[in-house]
Chains A and B, each alone.
Chain A
Amino acid sequence: MQLTEDPLATLLKAANADDRQAYARFLHAVTPIVRGIVRARSRSLPPDQHEDIVQDVLLGIHLKRHTWDAAHPLRPWLYAITRYKIIDAYRKRGVAVHLPIEDYSELLPAEDIASPLTARDDRAEVDHLLGQLDPRSAEVVRALALRDETQAEVSARLQISPANLRVTLHRAMKRMAALGRRDQP
């Protein structure tokens, strides 16, 4: 089938015999091929991550360059590594997406605690809104927003970590704001 040898194969053969220049040329020649595959296969990942994946693939090729059997064609080997590293990239990013929200609590917008409550100084109505939350969240809102307790006190009393407390408050406030809007005529 192969009448002339794949130039990439020639380069990698030389590289594996410790020809550094040939190796650099091999990697430069492989990069656009890899980039093309990554672009075609990673449509669901943001384009700014594509080059990261390309570099992951190059690194994989580099670390495993001794696993190519020079008696076999190069392309299947190359594509197998590229495919494996793209799947690996998905796996890593999939895990990243599912990191617990607590890790991001520092990034949550500072809570304008008063907002859902100020418009309704009517105690009954506030109680009505709080009644629709789960008891724990309701207690967090009561303590922080209505009784002006400090975060440290509340977090100690309810045994919630400060980060978790911010998240709970944030979610409760959002939920109450939504409930409030729904209740308004």
Chain B
Amino acid sequence: MMQTDDLIARLSTEAVQTALRPARLGMVMALSILVPVALFLAVLGTRHGLMLAWSNPVVPFKTVLPLITCALSILLVLRLIRPEARAGATLWVYAVPLLAALALWIGAFVLREPSARFAEVSAFSLDECLGSILLLSIVPVGVMLRLVREGAATSPTLSGALVGLSAASGVTAGYSLFCTRDNPLFFVTWYGAAILIVTLISAALGRRMLRW
């Protein structure tokens, strides 16, 4: 096959590319989340009495659960940039934060008086929460999708979704230090919804951008 031999001759003269360094990619990904969050908190500040609030055992979950999800997702994204990698059963690790969040929600629903259940939900608080998480996610999603393109992900949609999940849950962990609504019925629902929206958008973007 003459043509194929020509192609090989042409390709073999091209310069080498620098090897993929997942650790460096992971650092940049983490930074792309940290920088917008740090700016947000620098301008608006953390909530008053953060330390005191954390003495309520439910409140730390607002930050810890998204943080765990974020760390898991970045690790998975970094694994999936190798073409031979498969996520498969590893995705079950998400059952841990998911079940914890579900337990918080159900616990709060059962323990609260019916009138107090959804007291903190107002159009304003929703806008603030959803809007902040969505806006803060834009930069990290963009940066991370670009970084994943340097690799060779063979499941573009899943990789895109995990990028969105990393970005949104990381941003949510930071935002939770500002947010004063400690009712799990509020934060599990709306943090979850915001993270889900970003994940779906990023999956759609990944489907188109991460092909090669």
Binding site for B on A (CB under 8 A): 15-18, 20-21, 23-24, 27-28, 31, 51, 54-55, 58-60, 62-67, 69, 72, 76-77, 79-81, 83-84, 88
Contact = CB atoms under 8 A, between A and B. Distances in A.
Nearest to A24: B12
Interface string B1-19: 1011101110111111111
B149 to A, nearest CB: 11
A31 B16 CA distance: 19
A18 B19 CA distance: 11
A87 to B, nearest CB: 9
A151 to B, nearest CB: 39
Given A59-B11, A67-B82, A80-B84, A54 B4 contact: yes
A65 B154 contact: no
B135 to A, nearest CB: 33
B212 A63 contact: yes
B82 A58 contact: no
A63 B83 CA distance: 12
Interface of B: 1, 3-5, 7-9, 11-20, 81-84, 151-152, 154, 211-212
Contact of B152 (A31, A58, A67, A76): A67
Contacts of A72: 82, 84
Of the listed residues B3, B17, B83, the one surrounded by the most CB atoms of chain A closer than 10 A to its CB is B83
A106 B48 CA distance: 72
Given A51-B4, A67-B152, 17 more contacts: A21-B12, A23-B11, A24-B8, A27-B8, A51-B3, A55-B4, A55-B7, A59-B7, A60-B152, A65-B17, A66-B16, A67-B83, A69-B20, A77-B82, A80-B83, A83-B154, A84-B154
Nearest to A27: B8
B13 A20 contact: yes
Contacts of B5: 28
A15 B16 contact: yes
Contacts of A18: 15-16
B11 A66 contact: no
28 contacts: A15-B16, A16-B16, A16-B19, A20-B13, A23-B11, A24-B9, A24-B12, A27-B8, A27-B11, A27-B12, A28-B5, A31-B8, A51-B4, A58-B4, A59-B7, A65-B16, A65-B17, A66-B19, A66-B20, A69-B20, A72-B82, A77-B82, A79-B84, A80-B84, A83-B154, A84-B83, A84-B154, A88-B211
A28 B16 contact: no
Contacts of A76: 84
Nearest to A26: B12
B25 to A, nearest CB: 11
A33 B49 CA distance: 65
Contacts of A21: 12
A71 B121 CA distance: 52
B77 to A, nearest CB: 14
Contacts of B18: 66
Contacts of B154: 80-81, 83-84
A66 B152 CA distance: 9
A62 B82 CA distance: 14
B144 to A, nearest CB: 17
A25 B151 CA distance: 24
Nearest to B8: A27
A27 B1 CA distance: 14
A81 B5 CA distance: 20
Contacts of A51: 1, 3-4
